[in-house]
Amino acid sequence: MAEEILVKFYPEGKRASIERGKTILDAALKADVDLAALCGGKGFCGKCQVVVVEGSENLSPLTEVERKHLSAEKLELGFRLACQAKVYGDVAVKIPEYSRTGKQKLVIMGVEPPRPLKPAVRKIYVELPPPTLEDPLADDLRLINALREKGFEVEEIDPEILVKLPDLLREAGWKITATIIDGKKIIDVEPRDVSEHCYGIAVDIGTTKLACFLVNLNTGELLHACGTMNPQIPYGEDVMSRISYAMEGEDHLQQLKKAVVDGINGLIQEALTITGVRREHLYELVAVGNTAMHHLFIGIQPAYVGRSPYPPAVAKSCALPPQAVGIAINNRGRVHVLPNIAGFVGADAVACLLATEVHKSAELKLLMDVGTNTEVSLGNREKILSCSTASGPAFEGAHIKYGMRAATGAIERVKIDEETFEPEISTIDDAKPRGICGSGIIDVIAEMLRVGLLDTRGRIQRKETTRIREGPQGLEYVLAWKEETPSKAEDLVITQKDIREIQLAKAAMRTGCEILMKRLGIGREQISELIIAGAFGSYINPESARILGMIPEVPLERIKFVGNTAGSGARMCLKSVDARREAEEIARRVEYVELAALPEFQEEYVNAMAFPHADISKHPEVMSKIKAPVTTRIYREST
């Protein structure tokens, strides 16, 4: 028997027994404590910092990775990376606030165009005449006939109900409520008139967050919305690291599936508790997510999605029994999952298109669903092109030295004085700054460009201010002095490397926009609306985004933030089978553009790396507003 070692976590006081030689991160996962591991324990994010308070002698020696991520000061204070430190005897560690994934500002709502209510599930009250010698009709036909009079042509009765039907009908005195799915299958029979209790759940499975919506299917009313972090995060921050994890071990796929399903079941429980709705009255769950999340939710190995040519295993919408997925709603109900378009343009993108109605528009619209992957779609009712860009988690704080998610203490807005270069920051919950979230990063870079602290190639410029200084990895800009932070341990800086990360991220999504526009042969003037969707998107300052060149230059009034439209699309499909048909049509109509397959991709990408773009003629308004020295040139493919 392997020796078991005890790891305690403060301040929670949680504990876990693990095998000798496993890491503190392994113990944290087992103890279910909140510890950030953005890279999935691979050692390159440096986020899983913990302070050893007892038993440091029982840990493996410091690794190179730890020396790289932890300052000398932190090393002295007993900091370790949980993914690196192996445990050979009992230890106790403290998890600092900034190593938490944290309670986040979750945007779960999004715009939703109204549609006629047409749910898949209906509940119908009927009173049946009891059988007599003159009318000895079978129980099933008696029920079916009564429902026919109400306009339902039932073809099938769920086997579980079928075997109980005679007793169900008689115990109810022949006055029952039948629950019908798709207008043709009876999935429940209850005594009395309980037709008002007909509910469904829409779920948006984001790589980072889960959002859950409890909807009254009789009225279309949204009764409760709630969200939580995707419990798969400890297994890997982004889609690719989840795919890697799923492939690496025998039961990893099931672990990931269980994590997300448990997370959704938790949200369902929350919604039920708050609304008082009974679980057996939840008849359908409609789910969306990107292709990898979709596959993991259903339990399909996403390995091939992560490997060229990135084909999804399943692109068609599918209907599954709740117990096959593990979802805790009425067992005879259904889980409906929206269709995918491609390996990296999933059901969430379909839902976004449905909710933003790009497919119905006469004018051209550019839709960007910003997330760890940013799906870009361009089109109208005639034609829609879509692509996926690996914008990465930089906008969510990963790979950024003091990056963090949009949680308490995150710097979310920044202004820089043109003369003094002093920043004016605002933080979430007005707390002391402990890091910087996506919208803050975009703001600070846009401001640095505006005031001339950056050139268009993204190089930090030396200026006469203590805010610009030489750091261990080149020049850096100090956003907050350590005295202003809660830990008082380190200055919050933006490093040259941080700016490179953002450049890579924004270049990715911009490349998607440029390539789709070229494919359709249109210029920025023809974009009637630039729609930014996604939880993260809602907080972006559009002006800053335009300065960075994350998006093509269109007038600010044409930029529209729509929030979490993946969730909106899921709700629409929950409430209307016509919307599902529309979603299926969208998924099959959209022309997917595989950027990696295009010869022009490399050139477009390099050009998009510049702020706002190597071709400054694309950004007349931005260029008129910023002081950044123009040091870029347009790359042309050699012919």
Residue keyed to tokens 């025998």: 250
CB of 201 to a copy of itself, least distance (A): 19
Q: In the bound complex, what is the minimum distance in angstroms from residue 293's beta carbon to a copy of itself?
A: 15
* CB of 220 vs a copy of itself, minimal distance in Å: 27
Phi and psi torsions of 55, nearest 5°:
80, 30
How would you list the strands of the sheet with 121-127, edge to edge? 121-127, 175-181, 185-191, 156-157
| Measured distance CA(564)–CA(109) in Å, rounded | 5
CB of 295 to a copy of itself, least distance (A): 9
- Cβ proximity to a copy of itself, 298 vs 609, nearer residue: 298
| Among candidate residues 334, 400, 413, the one with its CA nearest the CA of residue 158 | 334
> DSSP letter at 14?
E
Of 11 and 159, the one with the shorter C-beta distance to a copy of itself is 159
Closest CB 368 distance from a copy of itself, rounded Å: 22
- Nearest approach, Cβ of 296 to a copy of itself (angstroms)? 11
The Cα 72–Cα 492 span in angstroms is 16
CA pair distance 553, 16, nearest whole angstrom? 53
**Terminal-to-terminal C-alpha distance of the chain:** 66
- Coil, helix or strand for 30? helix
For a copy of itself, the closer CB: 222 or 318: 318
Compute the 3-state secondary structure of the chain and give helix, strand, coil in percent, each to the nearest 5: 35, 25, 40
SS (H, E, C) 549-605: CCCCCCCHHHEEEEECHHHHHHHHHHHEHHHHHHHHHHHHHCEECCHHHCCCHHHHH
Closer to a copy of itself by Cβ: residue 239 or 532: 239
Between residues 274 and 597, which has the closer beta carbon with respect to a copy of itself? 597
Question: What is the closest distance, in whole angstroms, from the C-beta atom of residue 589 to a copy of itself in the complex?
Answer: 13
| Closest CB 135 distance from a copy of itself, rounded Å | 8
DSSP bridge pairs for 416: 423
Q: Give residues in contact with a copy of itself (CB under 8 A).
A: 131-142, 144, 156-157, 159-160, 162-163, 165-167, 170, 298-301, 303-304, 308-316, 318-321, 324, 340, 342-343, 592, 594, 596-597
Edge to edge, what strands does the sheet with 282-289 contain? 222-229, 209-216, 199-205, 282-289, 334-337, 318-320
Q: Which is nearer to a copy of itself, 158 or 498 (CB)?
A: 158
**What does DSSP say about strands 527-533 and 559-563: parallel, antiparallel, or unpaired?**
parallel
Residue number, 431 or 597, with CB nearest to a copy of itself: 597
**Is residue 592 a contact partner of residue 341, using CB atoms and an 8 Å limit?**
yes
Pick between residue 225 and residue 337 the one whose CB is nearest to a copy of itself. Answer: 337
Of 145 and 526, nearer to a copy of itself (C-beta) is 145
Query: Closest approach of Cβ 615 to a copy of itself, in Å?
Result: 27
